[in-house]
Amino acid sequence: MQQMWSDIDHYIESHLIPEDPILTQTLENTAAHGFPDHLAVAANQGMLLQMLIQMNKCKRVLELGTFAAYSTIWLARALPEDGYILTIEGRDTHAAMGQENIERANLPQTIELKVGRAADILNALPENTEAFDFIFVDADKQSYPEYLELSLNLSHSGTVIVLDNVIRAGDIMNPENVKPSIEGIRQMYQAMQNHPKILSCTALQTVGSKGHDGFAIAIVK
C-alpha cells in the first residue's frame, strides 16, 4: 500500500505542484547534510498550507517545529511581501539547518527563527504581541495540548490553527499504546472538543508518501 500511496502523491505533484527551484534547493541541501526527508511535509501538503493562508489573506504566521524550514518556506511564500512568520525549533541541529535554508531561499517576507522549547518561547513573548492569522503546529506531540492553548491565546477571531501528525497510523486508537506522544494527541482531541474559544474544528486522516497520518484544523471563535 505504501508504494501505491507514494505513487499517487507523485502523480498529484507532477500535475498540480509546479517545479520550484527554491523548494527543490531546500530539499537537496537538507539531504546533503544527512537529514531525513520524512520529517518534512509532502509537497501537496505544503501546497494545502499555502492555500489556507492565501484563502484567509493572512499576514502573520506562527509555526511550531521548523525542522529544516521546508514547510516554513511554503508558509512564508504564501504571505504578502510585508508578511511575517515566527518559526520555533527545539533542536539546535535542526534550527541551524533551517536557518541556512531560510537564508538560501532569500525571500522578501520576514522570517524569524527562534531556538528552544516552543512553550517557553511563546510564554516569554511580550504581552502586546500581535495575534497571528495562521498557526501551524508540527512539534513534539506530547506537548500538543499545551501548544493548542498557547496558540489560542495568540489568536484572534478567525485565526486558523493546523496541528499535524494527529493520527499516527491509527495508534491513537490502540489503548495499549500509552507513549507520551500518543497520549498528548489524545489529550489534544479532548481539549478541542467543545472548547469555548474554538468556533469549529475537525481532523482528517491522510495517506501518501509520508505514510498514514493526518491533521486537525480549528477556526478560532
Please report the DSSP string for 37-54 in residue order: GGGSPPHHHHHHHHHHHH
Cell of 40: 518534512
Mean pLDDT value of segment 115-139:
97
Model confidence at 40, in pLDDT bands (50, 70, 90)?
confident
Antiparallel, parallel or unpaired: β 155-164 and 132-137? parallel
Q: Please report, for residues 54, 121, 135, the alpha-carbon distance to residue 50 in angstroms, rounded to integers and kept in the order given.
A: 6, 25, 12
Predicted local confidence at residue 43, as pLDDT: 94
pLDDT of residue 37: 75
CATH number for the domain including 78? 3.40.50.150
Residue spans of beta strands (DSSP E) within 5-140: 60-64, 84-89, 110-115, 132-137
Return the pLDDT at 38: 76
pLDDT beyond 90 at 96: yes
Query: What is the pLDDT averaged over residues 29-44?
Result: 88
86-104: average pLDDT: 97
Sign of CA pseudo-dihedral 72, 74, 77, 78: negative
Q: What is the pLDDT of residue 191?
A: 98
129: confidence class by pLDDT, cuts 50, 70, 90: very high
Mean pLDDT, range 148-171, rounded to an integer? 98
Q: Which residues of 161-196 are buried (b: 16+ CB within 10 A; e: fewer)?
A: bbbbbbbbeebbeeeeeeeeebbbbbbbbebbeebe
Q: For residue 86, what is its C-alpha cell?
A: 515566527
Instruction: Indicate if the pLDDT at residue 85 is higher than 80.
Output: yes
pLDDT in tens, 142-153: 999 999 999 999
Sheet containing strand 211-220, edge to edge, reads 110-115, 84-89, 60-64, 132-137, 155-164, 211-220, 198-208
Helices H, strands E: what count in the chain?
A: 8, 7
Which residue, 101, 106, 24, is CA-closest to 66? 101
Evaluate if pTM is beyond 0.75: yes
Task: Determine the 3-state secondary structure of 213 from DSSP.
Answer: strand
Domain with 111 in it: 2-220
Pairing outcome for strands 60-64 and 132-137: parallel
Q: What is the pLDDT of residue 39?
A: 77
Tell me how many domains the chain contains: 1
